[in-house]
Amino acid sequence: MNSINLDRVNKQLVILSSRFPFPPGEEFLETEIKYLCNQFEKVHIIPVNINDYSVDARETPSNTKVFNFTPSPSSLKKTDLMKKLFRDSQGKTWFIKECKYFIPKYTSAMFKVANWIGLAVQIRNQLSKILKDNQYNLSETVFYSYWLGPSATALAMLKEIEPSIKIISRAHGGDLYAYRHSTPYMPAQKQTVRWLDKVFVISQDGSDYLKKSYPEVSEKIAVSRLGTRSAEGKSIASSDGILRVVSCSNMLPVKRLDLIIDTLKKCKQQIYWSHIGDGPLKEELEKKVHQELPSNIQCEFLGRKKNAEVLKYYQTHPIDLFINVSSSEGIPVSIMEAYSYGIPSFATDVGGTKELVDSNNGKLIEKDFDTEELAKEIDHFASLSVDERASYRTAAYEKWKEDFFSETNYSQFAKLLREFEGI
């Protein structure tokens, strides 16, 4: 094993988050930050999409410092962003260069592109000021955008000006896959990836997608999986002949909770479905449940819960199956968490879900599945013997432990960043 040259390791990390450490969202970074802070002497966090700093921030390790962007770039009107964009020589150059990628095929993306690069210009400006005011030693600093969004573009623009800085970004799902958007175009992605030193994608599917999109820079693209903490216990199986099914997500169209209802109403077995999460479709879904579910199907909507409360629920309630029928995913952390408690999953084959779910620990469902067929599969699962269902539970836990354990994944990632030399 090669020894580490301590004179060359990075001592400071600058993270561009969306809102973290302010809630809600980015719960995964809440876990990851502890490992990053173990490797770096100083960790500076800059949330770029927060307007109200009076919200109680989540606790972070003692060697972190949070910087505020005032005003937040996301709080600016789009017209103001565009004015600032076209007054900025670098921003204007980036926009003009981007035009050849989306015109004429995606002309409707023009305002989206202008807004994106305008945000990046504002983030770059405010980040430059922080760097100047705090006299950063760039040779010992890594800049890390948690999303492959305007923050990553801002870092790319900064590197164009100052090539010596070391910049990396994660890429998840909505910030990665163009096809997930109504206009299937991701602004400035090609230019951003070109300037980044490294892009760490959370799934193999995402990595393959990005490499196929930009084969000329494929050496910059790597997989670095997210992970969840070790469970404090295991969920127990039902013992009363009722199949207890859980789903956990926001109540949004992409989650297709209506299809869970359409499936369950065709099931013959006794089933109790619990959904954790809230959102704009709640009233519509409650009405559908009341009107359509037969007497053999019981349902409860548990509302939004903090992550710790979700995990406590898994630990203290019998759960037999987790279900996710999203039309799009990066790689679902909700399933990782379920697996850490030994709960098998049925989930749609979208994004990186197939890297989690297989026939040993659940069932991978076609994206455009037939609800009648899925109902039969759920009924079949409900009819399995205690030992057969136990084998699924064991396989789910082992899959989590092997590939999605936070201690392993985040420790490796943090150490890599500390020793990162850039390009």
The predicted-structure confidence for 290-309, as pLDDT tens digits, reads as follows 999 999 999 999 999 988 89
State the average pLDDT over residues 130-152. Answer: 94
Give residue 87's pLDDT.
Answer: 92
Give residue 7's pLDDT.
Answer: 57
Query: What are the structure tokens assigned to 125, written together?
Result: 């400006």
Answer yes or no: pTM beyond 0.75.
yes
Task: Please tell me whether residue 19 adopts helix, strand or coil conformation.
Answer: coil
Give residue 53's pLDDT.
Answer: 76
In the chain the domains, ranked by start, together with CATH numbers, are 12-227+406-418 (3.40.50.2000), 243-403 (3.40.50.2000)
Give residue 50's pLDDT.
Answer: 84
pLDDT in tens, 360-387: 999 999 999 999 999 999 999 999 999 9
Count of positions (residues) in the chain: 423
Question: Is the model's pLDDT at 70 over the cut of 90?
Answer: no
String of DSSP letters for 115-140: HHHHHHHHHHHHHHHHHHHHT--GGG
Give residue 81's pLDDT.
Answer: 81
CB 241 within 8 Å of CB 270: yes
Q: Percent of the chain at pLDDT above 90?
A: 79
Task: Answer whether the bond into residue 21 is a cis peptide, omega within 30°.
Answer: yes
Query: What are the structure tokens assigned to 322, written together?
Result: 């987790």
pLDDT in tens, 205-224: 999 999 999 999 999 999 99
